[in-house]
Amino acid sequence: MSTVTTSDGTSIFYKDWGPRDAQPIVFHHGWPLSADDWDNQMLFFLAHGYRVIAHDRRGHGRSTQTATGHEMDTYAADVAALTDELDLQGAFHIGHSTGGGEVTRYVARAKPGRVGKAVLVSAVPPIMVKSATNPGGLPIEAFDEMRTALAANRSQFYIDVPTGPFYGFNRPGAKVLQGLIDNWWRQGMAGAANAHYECIKAFSETDFNEDLKKIDVPVLVAHGTDDQIVPYPDSAPLSAKLLKHSTLKSYEGLPHGMLSTHPDILNPDILAFLKA
């Protein structure tokens, strides 16, 4: 397997497909998944001549199940270790959900020339948890319930999430895709319980407001209006306002996991933005 070793000895697994001299795209997965969640997009962009790269976040998938580092600063540092190892220049970074937070933190701090464009898909910024400064956020109790469910029976929790709100399969008339549910469970159970538990705090309580303001590359912010995991009104429109060069693309009625349920809609839109 291809891996890069970080400064604290963590082994980060990654995939790297396509010509080494092609435009690189780096994909950042959501919680509690792995690089495998981007299979559709990696094949799509590979077929369009790109070099496609995706890694498993520490504690997820095939990367080291570490005791520490399950917060956004370390996640971003791990990405920097990977991009340094591969010496990526002008790369496009695409992040889904928690991966969108990882992209935001990394791009805001990246070395000059490393990043060309970014895409945030159903992403967690600016900040998810409700507070005096973020009255439209979700109450902390919602995330406490996730932690309780994970600790009590992680395997069942990882069936309930994709069967219900993640892909919108709980909506009337939804076409349920059992393969997506099974693959979500498979990816989740490959990771570490401690990493997933601590990552809930990382994706829900990290404040990305200042990161968004620092980013000076073009960013596509793509979000479904029926996102039951990262509600649309308190995420995408707010991020787009804080970014210097943003394009907001809203998808009426699409769910949080739209990159998997509707790749036929999302992929061409991302391709058009990257080519523009």
**What residues act catalytically?**
97, 227, 256
Residue 185: enclosing H or E segment and its boundaries? helix 178-190
261 in Cβ contact with 183 (< 8 Å): no
> Residues 230, 178, 267, 237: what is their CA dihedral angle, to the nearest 10 degrees?
-10
Q: Residue 242 in contact with residue 132, Cβ under 8 Å?
A: no
Residue type, 175: K
Distance in angstroms (rounded) separating the CA atoms of residues 201 and 220: 25
Q: What is the distance between the alpha carbons of residues 29 and 31, in angstroms, rounded to a whole number? A: 7
Helix axes 98-109, 72-86, angle to 10 degrees: 60
For residue 83, how far is the Cα from the chain centroid? 17
State the distance between the two ends of the chain, measured CA to CA, in whole angstroms: 34
DSSP character string of 200-244: HHHHHH---HHHHHH--S-EEEEEETT-SSS-GGGSHHHHHHHSS
